[in-house]
Chain A
Amino acid sequence: MNKRKLKESSGTDGECISQVQKMLRERLCHHRAMGKLFGIDQQYKHLLELLKQTTVCGESNSALIIGPRGSGKTALLNRVLKDLREMKQVKENLLEVHLNGLLQTNDKVALKEITRQLHLENVVGDKVFGSFAENLAFLLEALRKGNRTSSCPVLFVLDEFDLFVHHKNQTLLYNLFDISQSAQTPVTVIGLTCRQDILELLEKRVKSRFSHRRIYLMNSFAFKQYIRIFKEQLSLPAEFPDKAFAQKWNSNIQLLTEDKTVQDILQNLFHYSKDLRSLNFLLMLAVSNVTVRHPLITASDLQEASKQYRMDSKANIVHEFQKFIQRKAHCMYNFEKPVVMKAFEHLLQLELVKPIERPSVRSQREYLLMELLLDNNQIMDALQAYPNCPTDVKQWAASSLSWL
């Protein structure tokens, strides 16, 4: 109701802002979308070249893309695949099989999924028939029949590659790598993982068959690049319909990047984590604040967002439920037993305290050994933030927590 009124009052502006919101949110949230890649040109070229060799020359390969979470492994692969599909030689010349270690939890499921995605002949509708052994034999037979020059190359993408390592005997990996190292259907196996020790997990035979190409994504950019990324993520493209608004918006972003507080916020974030996903979250919060009345992002917006983003969750909870602690502290004086017990149970539920041993039937609840899952600083912070905390609680905290 309110929104509509606002829109009516400021016609085109509202239009623009909703468009901006849409565009930026898509860019920030939707990491499968073909966003820009930052600082990984080398890796991009390497991967593209690798896949081109498979598709164009029919050369089998295997590679791992390794990098911490949020470093853009999937984004890189998607980008490469998108560019690859646009190439003339590759078009309809590549079969893709996407597997995820979280979904295909064992080889049986994985094999079925591969057969399904390859549309082999034992697939009827959406179902794959036959036992595990039959499926394996069938798939291997299918892949064995092909040869380098005539068969359509197959790209296997194994997301969460480290989970495939735990499959029994690593049968799937062995077979995929073995095919990639023998004169059969050309395949390329790309594994995505965040574990640096992935190669140590491979069985020696599997390891020997892996071609040892590793593409590392390290977030290896400096703060200056970080700022640039920030700018590019927020800037509107040239093809934005309302040129004037876009210009205004972009110049504002330019100003922001030069702003000291913004830089501080970003620096802080950068120090905590270099991955771009966290930056995107921060920007998302800021962008959400943009309304017709408040058409441009300001430094304070970002500050607020960063506060929200980095809120200490437990401290938050402590803040809200301080009174229970307070009651507990008071229990030795005047509260009755049931009240205290109630408060105690609440704390248990919030997992602020935790029993050291497993609660058994025999031990009475009053005499359980408990463990505090909070740091003193958190309690102190919480007490200070709590507006009307009784002074005796504060005193008790100051005296008893100091030695902890």
Chain B
Amino acid sequence: MQKKKKRKGVGEDEACVTVSPSASVGDGRKPARRSAQTALAISKNCSFMCFCFSSGIMDTRQQSKIIYSWYGKPTNSDRKLRTLQYKGILIKSERSRKERCIQLGDFVLVEGENADQPFVAQLLDLYEDGAEQKHAVVQWFSHISEIPKNKQKLLKRRISSQEVFFDKVSGYDTDIAVETIIDSVLVIPLRLKDELPTRLKKEKIFCVKQSWDGKCFKALSPHTFSKLNEANRKEDGIPNSFNSFVPSDIISSAKKETKKAGLSATKTKNVEMEIESKHSASKSSLSKKRHSLRVANGIKNPTARKKLELNSPTRSPKSKLLEQEDIWALLDDDCDSQLLKPTAIKRKVKFTEVLSSPPKITCANDKLKSVFGTAEDQEVLSGTLRLSPYRKLEDSNEKVKSLNMEVDAIVLTGHKELGSQSPAVTPRSRRTCTQETSTRIAEQISLLNMLESKEEEDFLSSSDGSYSSSSEEEDSDVSCTPEKKTKPSRMFSTPKSSRKPSVHTPAKTPKKTPLPGTPRTPRNATPEIPRRSHAAQKPTSVLEEARLRLHVSAVPESLPCREEEFQDIYNFVESKLIDGTGGCMYISGVPGTGKTATVHEVIRCLQRATEDDDLPSFQFIEINGMKLTDPHQAYVQILELLTGQKVTATHAAVLLANLFCTPGPKRKTTVLVVDELDLLWTRKQNVMYNLFDWPTQKHSKLIILAIANTMDLPERIMMNRVSSRLGLTRMSFQPYTYKQLQQIISSRLNSVKAFEEDAIQLVSRKVAALSGDARRCLDICRRAAEICEFSSQKSADEIVRMTHITQAIDEMFSSPYIQAIRNASLHEQIFFKAILAEFRRVGVEEATVQQVYRQHIALCRMEGMQSPTVSDILAICARLGACRLLLLESSSKYLHMRVRLNISQDDVMYALKDD
């Protein structure tokens, strides 16, 4: 019962298929022959048809310009999961009015992070979930650029850009949104030794030779190979089948022949077009023109395809082989005879190759009749239907051969395939082609027969006995049908079930190598600093070596004293990676406490872990608020690092939101380090909001490590909705204690004996007391080493002692003011004294120049010096103001300019006392 119902479903489907083209053409040229069957189909499936179309309309999801709708009615439904499965999807572009149908088993291009490099995949399942979201289950193919560099070496051969790898890596989500499918594409399976035919090199065809499972490359297993091959072959057949209507046209009315020829011409053209568009994703203006032609009877193609697609992909290779052999035996003679026959016909129709089709079809019909031995109307029609692919291929073959038209990928593929499959048949390419075609026809015939017989079983009193040759096939077919029916559902259920719990199975996936950021300016400009003409000198002495090691830029082997923080961050990121979820962490600490260094160390360790396959791979990107000219530039940088695209800030924001908020195909976890977070602050805080909102999205797989200086930044500058999204995972880096600093210096110096122990301790204590900034500590040590080197040029084995350290510390920490006052000229010093005196007199720490001037003159008189003029005083005042020893008002006020000290009075007194 169940079985029957299913079969009926199939039959209905097919009926619908046959109807829809005529419905879509709707130009009154409906062939009479077909109309009988059509009428039948219509009468039977009228209601369903309506559903089909309406559902197509209703399902139409309004994406910007492209409408995705289901093709056909749901084939299978799962009550538990409330999913409906479909056989194909229609992609309709609103603008160009063109429509494509992609069906199960087809190869598709899937929108990637990078618009220039879409992913390649094979469509395995299409379904709609309870929320009316369209989903597709795919088998991925990896491009060479998706495979990590270090693994690429395993291949030991040059990889053409057209080669892809059958992706067995388990980490990728195979469930994608249908909206991410861009276009169909052709993927040809090849043996390892084979090369892609040179004539195909220019086209957008992919070939697959090996599979990739994250660790090594393997040759395709025979099973996969044949499966891929089959999917391909089926695709070859697709475009042709709808032309089966042509012959019936001709048969029905001979007087309209010219007109019909025109029609068929367009149709053949369409076929051509179809093939071409399948293979070349590039849209030349020519192809566009042709596309528009195709659009006129666009629905035909999908329907035709649908019919053919029904069985082929899921058939077990064994039964297929059997069938093939059967039909081979049957058709071989036919082919041969046919090859000889059409010469006359061909000559006749040479001026338009289109006209050649009718006679051939008839002869094919004849042949078929002879094969099947029945001449019923129905039979004939089905015969034409069945044979059409054959004719069409023959046709296109001729085109390639005789007219030297554009390269037809399918035919060539056919050659290649056949060549690899049965090398014995190669010399006569035409023959092989026909042979190949015949096998395909045989397959299709058998399928159609089976279907038809089913159909007939349902609504016709069929003559079972008439199918002499196909009856056994039918049997085998029937026996395999349930298998087929169940198999896909099993197959599809696996990814579905695995989708939820184990989106994140550990997988070794290639780390996306972001395109090197080539700035847009002159498009080809490569940023580079010229190389030095002389080689850099190697450190010659112990001190020089020490200085190099102590330089802040030197990357130490390990980060001492931050083990705890390191572990915390590592655990956080690791757990998120394993779970395949997103999250935020906020890291704070004063400058020079090793925040960024620790995070980088964590990332390095994680990357090492992924290389050893302990962790799923991830993509690491980093932005720095200080290195952005504007907070919104963060979007631009993130997008560029992710995908290599360069767009404007607003556009980048949209793209990123798209990327992180839609269930993206084949996405790895992204680890984003945002350094100097506080600089991403904007009035609306939308940059911060977005950054912290993305990780909370279900599909984003984004881990953010935000770094800033202040511990309470989220509370101080963030709005509630932003800080709430940031979450409470926080960590603060305490300033280093002197012991830690000491350890840092010693670990950096490692074995180099250049510093006294006490000296190191002195530095650490001094710096820890002041700021705990490790950078400062290293700088002082470096300077001390320099001083040591400088002071002891003769004795080579000097090491840095306390005195050197003290000198360096003095140099770096001494206040410059006192020294500056001491070195000022006499009148400048007197001016200071005058200021102090005036302050004391008035009791306010501010005075005008005029007041100070009077004091100054008085002081000069006391010292018996020549008193300066007002101009002199103002010059002195300006000088001291420029050094910021004094704070001055703007000088336009002249004598009434107010003066203030920029240092404490005590300091001034102290500085002046010694004189």
Contacts and interface: CB of A to CB of B under 8 A. Distances in A.
B633 A171 contact: no
A230 B628 CA distance: 51
Interface string B849-892: 01001000100000001101111100110010011110000000
Contacts of B591: 204-205, 207-209
B599 to A, nearest CB: 14
Contact of A57 (B539, B637, B709, B819): B539
B627 interface: yes
Of A49, A57, A154, A174, the most chain B CB neighbours within 10 A belong to: A57
B529 A314 contact: no
Contacts of A169: 626, 679
A310 B869 contact: yes
Interface string A281-317: 0000000000000000000000000000011111100
A375 B902 contact: no
Of A211, A274, A374, the most chain B CB neighbours within 10 A belong to: A211
B811 interface: yes
Contact of B525 (A138, A310, A313): A138
Contacts of B896: 371, 373
B542 interface: no
A113 B167 CA distance: 49
A65 B869 CA distance: 32
A57 B548 contact: yes
B783 interface: yes
Contacts of A11: none
B629 A60 contact: no
B876 A139 contact: no
Contacts of B812: 212-214
Interface in B779-812: 779-780, 782-783, 786, 790, 811-812
Contact of A124 (B522, B630, B780): B522
Contact of A373 (B519, B554, B811, B895): B895
Nearest to A182: B553
A222 to B, nearest CB: 11
B508 interface: no
Interface in A210-255: 211-214, 216, 218-220
Interface in B613-658: 626-630, 633, 636-637
A151 B525 contact: no
A258 interface: no
B620 to A, nearest CB: 15
A102 to B, nearest CB: 14
B876 to A, nearest CB: 7
Interface string A19-60: 000000000000000000000000001000100010011111
Contacts of B555: 183
B232 to A, nearest CB: 43
B459 interface: no
Nearest to A124: B522
Contact of B532 (A153, A180, A196, A197): A153
Interface in B543-580: 544, 547-548, 551-555
A118 interface: yes
Interface in B377-429: none
Interface stretch (B70-78, B201-209, B276-284, B824-832): B824-832
A340 interface: no
A120 interface: yes
A331 interface: no
Contacts of A213: 779, 783, 811-812
B521 A130 contact: yes
Contacts of A396: none
A79 B633 CA distance: 42
A73 to B, nearest CB: 12
A184 B530 CA distance: 13
B876 A314 contact: no
Interface string A134-154: 111111111101101111111
B117 interface: no
Contacts of A129: 521-522
A181 B526 contact: no
Contacts of B637: 137
A96 interface: no
B527 to A, nearest CB: 3
A117 to B, nearest CB: 12
Chain A's interface size range is 35 or more
A91 B221 CA distance: 63
A1 interface: no
B534 interface: yes
Contacts of A373: 894-896
Given A138-B525, A271-B865, A375-B895, A220 B876 contact: no
B32 interface: no
Contacts of A320: none
Contacts of B857: 377
Given A49-B790, A152-B533, A274-B824, A121 B866 contact: no
A120 B779 CA distance: 31
Interface of A: 45, 49, 53, 56-60, 66, 68-69, 89, 91-93, 95, 107-108, 118, 120-122, 124, 129-130, 132-143, 145-146, 148-154, 169, 171, 174-175, 178, 180-185, 194-197, 204-205, 207-209, 211-214, 216, 218-220, 268, 270-274, 310-315, 351, 354, 371, 373-375, 377-378
5 nearest CB pairs, A to B: A142-B527, A208-B591, A130-B521, A121-B525, A218-B823
Interface of B: 517, 519-522, 525-537, 539, 544, 547-548, 551-555, 590-592, 626-630, 633, 636-637, 676, 679, 709, 773, 775-776, 779-780, 782-783, 786, 790, 811-812, 816-817, 819-820, 822-828, 850, 853, 857, 865-866, 868-872, 875-876, 879, 882-885, 894-896, 902
9 contacts: A59-B551, A92-B533, A134-B521, A150-B532, A197-B884, A214-B816, A273-B827, A273-B876, A310-B869
Given A133-B628, A183-B553, A375-B853, 8 more contacts: A49-B786, A122-B527, A151-B532, A171-B626, A178-B627, A185-B529, A212-B776, A273-B825
